[in-house]
Structure 1
Amino acid sequence: MTGDLMQLARVHGPGDVRLDDVPIPQPGAGEAIVRVAACGICGSDLGFIAQGGMGGGEPLAEPLPIGHEFAGEVVAVGPGVEGVAPGLRVAVNPDDGYIGGGGPEGAMAPYIRITGAKVGETLFPLADHVDYAEAALAEPLSVGLHALRILDVQAHHKVAVLGAGPIGLCTVAMLRHLGCRDIAIFDRVESRLERARALGAGLAVNVAEESLPDALARYHGEGVRFGTRFAETDMFIDCAGSEAAFKDVIAIAKYRARIAIVALYKKPAAVDLWKMMANEILVTGSIAVDRKAEFAEALTMVAKGEQDLSPLISHHMDFARFNEALDLAANSDLSAKVMLTFPETAA
Structure 2
Amino acid sequence: MVDTMKAAVFQGEGRLEFEERPIPQIERADHVIVEVGAVGICGTDLHALKVPPGTLSRIPTGVIMGHEIAGRVAEVGEDVLSVKPGDHVLVDQNAPCGMCEMCRRGRPNYCISIRNVPGFPGAPNTYGLFQDGGLAKYVRVRELNVIRIDRSVPIWQAAVAEPIGVGLHGLRKVNVRVGETAVVLGAGPIGLVVTALLKRSGVGQLIVVEPLELRRQAALACGATAVINPKEADTVERVLAETNGTGADIVAEAVGWTLDTCIQVASNGARIILYGESELDDVIPIAPTLIGIKELEIYGVFLAPFVFESARSILESGTLPLDQIVSHRLPLEKVHEGLDALRDGRALKVVIHPNEF
User: Given the alignment of the two structures, is residue 5 of structure 1 paired with residue 17 of structure 2, yes or no?
Assistant: no
Query: Which residue pairs with 1:226 in the alignment?
Result: none
CA distance, structure 2, for counterparts of residue 146 and residue 139 of structure 1: 10
CA distance, structure 2, for counterparts of residue 156 and residue 133 of structure 1: 32
Query: Which residue pairs with 2:135 in the alignment?
Result: 108
Q: Where does 1:43-122 land on structure 2 (aligned, <5 Å)?
A: 43-51=43-51, 55=55, 62-96=61-95, 98-100=125-127, 102-115=129-142, 117-118=143-144, 122=145
| Contact persistence 2:5–2:136 (CA under 8 A) | yes
CA distance, structure 2, for counterparts of residue 103 and residue 62 of structure 1: 9
Per-residue deviation, 1:54: 6.2
Of residues 119, 137, 142, the one that matches 2:165 is 142
Alignment coverage as a number of residue pairs? 326
The 3 A distance-change label for structure 1 pair 137 and 190 is same
Query: Which residue pairs with 1:22 in the alignment?
Result: 21
Of residues 186, 207, 222, the one that matches 2:230 is 207
CA distance, structure 1, for counterparts of residue 149 and residue 186 of structure 2: 30
| Contact persistence 2:87–2:151 (CA under 8 A) | no
SS of residue paired to 1:255: strand
- Tell me the TM-score normalised to structure 1 length: 0.87
| Contact persistence 1:33–1:77 (CA under 8 A) | yes
SS of residue paired to 1:75: strand
- Tell me the TM-score normalised to structure 2 length: 0.85
CA distance, structure 2, for counterparts of residue 255 and residue 110 of structure 1: 51
Per-residue deviation, 1:51: 4.8
Query: Which residue pairs with 1:176 in the alignment?
Result: 199
Per-residue deviation, 1:55: 2.0
Of residues 296, 303, 310, the one that matches 1:281 is 296
Per-residue deviation, 1:61: 5.3
CA distance, structure 1, for counterparts of residue 82 and residue 230 of structure 2: 50
Query: Which residue pairs with 2:103 in the alignment?
Result: none
Task: Note the residue ranges of structure 2 that are not aligned, 5 or more in a row.
Answer: 97-124
CA distance, structure 2, for counterparts of residue 281 and residue 165 of structure 1: 25
| Contact persistence 1:165–1:192 (CA under 8 A) | yes
Cα deviation 1:12-48 (Å, max 9, x = unaligned): 3232222233211112220100010011111111111
SS of residue paired to 2:170: helix
The 3 A distance-change label for structure 1 pair 130 and 184 is same
Query: Which residue pairs with 1:155 in the alignment?
Result: 178
SS of residue paired to 1:185: strand
Which stretch of structure 1 is more off in the superposition, 77-86 or 95-104?
95-104
Q: Counterpart amino acid of 1:286? A: V
Identity of aligned residues (%): 29
The 3 A distance-change label for structure 1 pair 113 and 53 is farther
CA distance, structure 2, for counterparts of residue 82 and residue 57 of structure 1: 34
The 3 A distance-change label for structure 1 pair 199 and 14 is same
Per-residue deviation, 1:5: 1.9
Per-residue deviation, 1:306: 2.4
User: Given the alignment of the two structures, is residue 336 of structure 1 paired with residue 348 of structure 2, yes or no?
Assistant: yes
Per-residue deviation, 1:101: 5.7
| Contact persistence 1:12–1:52 (CA under 8 A) | no
CA distance, structure 2, for counterparts of residue 94 and residue 57 of structure 1: 15
Cα deviation 1:154-179 (Å, max 9, x = unaligned): 22321111100011001011112222
Structure 1: 4+ residue segments shifted above 6 A: none
Cα deviation 1:293-337 (Å, max 9, x = unaligned): x222222122112243210110111101121121112222x1100
CA distance, structure 2, for counterparts of residue 335 and residue 310 of structure 1: 13
| Contact persistence 1:66–1:99 (CA under 8 A) | no
Per-residue deviation, 1:206: 1.1
CA distance, structure 2, for counterparts of residue 249 and residue 158 of structure 1: 13
CA distance, structure 2, for counterparts of residue 325 and residue 317 of structure 1: 7
The 3 A distance-change label for structure 1 pair 14 and 276 is farther
Per-residue deviation, 1:232: 2.8
The 3 A distance-change label for structure 1 pair 56 and 248 is closer
CA distance, structure 2, for counterparts of residue 9 and residue 55 of structure 1: 22
Cα deviation 1:247-302 (Å, max 9, x = unaligned): 22223333222211111112231222122222222222101241x3x222222122
User: Given the alignment of the two structures, is residue 264 of structure 1 paired with residue 291 of structure 2, yes or no?
Assistant: no
| Contact persistence 1:138–1:299 (CA under 8 A) | yes
CA distance, structure 2, for counterparts of residue 314 and residue 80 of structure 1: 39
The 3 A distance-change label for structure 1 pair 57 and 45 is closer
The 3 A distance-change label for structure 1 pair 112 and 52 is farther
Aligned CA-pair RMSD: 2.1
CA distance, structure 2, for counterparts of residue 52 and residue 26 of structure 1: 34
| Contact persistence 1:54–1:101 (CA under 8 A) | no
User: Given the alignment of the two structures, is residue 304 of structure 1 paired with residue 303 of structure 2, yes or no?
Assistant: no
| Contact persistence 1:11–1:53 (CA under 8 A) | no
